[in-house]
Amino acid sequence: MHCRNKENKKMGPKGWFILKLLMFQGLFISHSQEQEDFDFFYLVLQWPGAYCDTKRSCCYPTSGKPAADFGIHGLWPNYKDGTYPSNCNPDSEFDKSQITDLVSSLKKTWPTLACPSNEGFKFWKHEWEKHGTCSESVMDQHEYFENSLKLRDRANLLQALTNSGIKPDDRFYDLEKIRKAIKDEIGFTPGIECNKDPERNDQLHQIYICVDTSGTEFIKCPILPRERCPSRLQFAKF
Ligand code: 5GP
Ligand code: 5GP
């Protein structure tokens, strides 16, 4: 009996179709892996006076009371429908040794205010593992922290507000004036988040600024976070 094994068998039209389909899929998969798996970043900056002036209170980092200025909360990859990825790569653990040159800047402008008091590595580890690992297609750990620091400096929020007469003096300011002062500085409308102090006053807590997928340029926000601020809010002393 004449018998051919599978490998030698000539491929018919159905075989060619399947082969082409597999090749196409292969191309598509390798291409999509090179692209970002998110649409933009939120650079989220926190006002320490508001973080500390709540029922929960706060603890200063071991290096002492941070400057009375906006600090970084995180650089968060986001989708334009408002949802977001998180904890994308359990194999990519936070590694202190990759950011030794940035630690002194991180201590100054990405200070932790959570209790118990600590140096800050816990906060940076949390932000890298929850958010940073979702933007590894565009930046590694060093770039994630370096870009965040550069963006925060560029936003120059406190100066922008002070230039418009908006100061952290426990007084109340118009939400729209705060928004305009920031827009005039960075070129785009920011998102503003409030929290409440123990007397239930609404305070300026966090500012959301949108950043392109390279993590270097401010952009118009594809979607702003849902806001619960009233029309006037307190800019707490720190
Ligand atoms: P909260 O519930 O306090 O607004 O947010 C808790 C945490 O969820 C944040 O610290 C952040 O890690 C994550 N989160 C909340 N809102 C967003 C968002 O709009 N985008 C991203 N990427 N993360 C968010
Ligand atoms: P996210 O809200 O980004 O998921 O997480 C914030 C986490 O980082 C919380 O577990 C919080 O306790 C911790 N954390 C440490 N320091 C700070 C800080 O200064 N601000 C905020 N918002 N969270 C901090």
- Which atom of ligand 1 is found nearest the CA of 127? 12
For ligand 2, whether the C-beta of 195 sits within 6 Å is no
In angstroms, the Cα distances linking 17 to 24, 29, 57, 162, 164 are 11, 18, 65, 66, 66
What are 206-227's pLDDT values in tens digits?
999 999 999 999 999 999 999 8
The number of the ligand nearest the C-alpha atom of 119 reads 2
Whole-Å CA distances, 51 to 58, 98, 106 = 7, 29, 18
Q: Supply the residue whose CA is at minimum distance from atom 24 of ligand 2.
A: 114
Which of 56, 121, 123, 125 gets mutated to test ligand 2 (max ligand atoms within 8 A of its CB)? 123
Per-residue model confidence (pLDDT) at position 13: 60
Q: What is the torsional sign of CA 24, 26, 31, 35?
A: positive
> Does 13 or 30 have the greater pLDDT score?
13
**Cα 173 from Cα 81, distance rounded (Å):** 30
Q: Rounded to the nearest whole angstrom, what is the distance from the C-alpha of residue 203 to the centroid of ligand 2?
A: 18
Q: Which residues pair with 204 in a beta bridge?
A: 194
β-partners of residue 30 are none
Q: Tell me the catalytic residues.
A: 73, 127, 131
Question: Rounded distance, CA 67 to CA 111, Å?
Answer: 9
Which of the four pLDDT bands, split at 50, 70 and 90, describes residue 12? low
d(CA 31, CA 50): 44
Terminal alpha carbon distance of the chain: 92
Q: What is the arithmetic mean of pLDDT over 226-232?
A: 94
The DSSP code for 75 is E
**Predicted pLDDT at 55:** 76
Kindly report, residue by residue over 83-118, the tens digit of the pLDDT: 999 999 999 999 999 999 999 999 999 999 999 999
Is residue 163 scored above 70 in pLDDT?
yes
Is residue 126 in contact with ligand 2, taking CB distance under 6 Å?
yes
For the stretch 20-70, pLDDT in tens is 555 555 444 443 444 679 999 999 999 999 999 887 889 999 999 999 999
